[in-house]
A = this chain, B = another copy of it.
Amino acid sequence: MTPDQLVEIELIKQLKYKYMRCLDQKRWTEMADVFTADATAAYSGGKYSYEGRDAILEFLSSSMGADTFHSSHHVHHPEIQLTSESTATGIWALQDVVIDLKWEITIRGAAFYNDEYAKQDGVWRICHTGYRRLYEEMESRKDKPELKLTASWWQSDGQSDINV
């Protein structure tokens, strides 16, 4: 690994971070830029698989677009390998939380991503992404008076109701 290669690896990490940020902030237009046009996805061990950037974006924005849907998708442990001047692979660990106020559920999980990246016109993009779950659990939020949502990006301008 050379310092110049490390720069490429950092650019790939920033690409992934932009993708995750656009996902949790519901920035679908900005997100389009992170995928190649022919990108493929295989989420949840392949259960949710899509071909092409448009199909991926349609799935994500339709399943996660509601402002009652809160999520944090955090990726860790990047093992990025440059496989040529314009291709790379990446393994990442995922930890995610979903709080859905409409369905009154919390989902918590962990997974490993296997990604592929391509550099096109000087810009790194995701050409394949997919993850396999280590575990996932779902919990009902109904009948839990002791549990309260105290802040929301969409419903409280990101401010907390809690007074320190």
Contact of A93 (CB < 8 Å), options: B14, B21, B70? B21
Residues of B close to A6: CB separation below 8 A: 3, 6-7, 10
Count contacts on A: residues with CB < 8 A to the other chain: 70
Specify which of B7, B44, B108, B158 is in contact with A111 (CB 8 Å cutoff). B158
Question: Are B25 and A112 closer than 8 Å at their CB atoms?
Answer: yes
**How far apart are the CA atoms of A149 and B153 in the complex, in Å?**
28
At the interface, yes or no: A78 with Cβ under 8 Å from chain B? yes
**A150 with B137, Cβ < 8 A, contacts A93-B74, A159-B45 known:** yes
This chain: copies in complex: 3
Q: How far is the CA of A151 from the CA of B137 in the complex (A)?
A: 7
Interface of chain A residues 1 through 52 with chain B (CB within 8 A) = 1-4, 6-7, 9-11, 14, 16-18, 20-21, 24-25, 44-48
Q: Can you offer 10 A-B residue contacts whose CB atoms are under 8 A? A: A1-B7, A2-B7, A3-B7, A18-B79, A20-B77, A46-B159, A75-B77, A136-B160, A137-B148, A138-B150
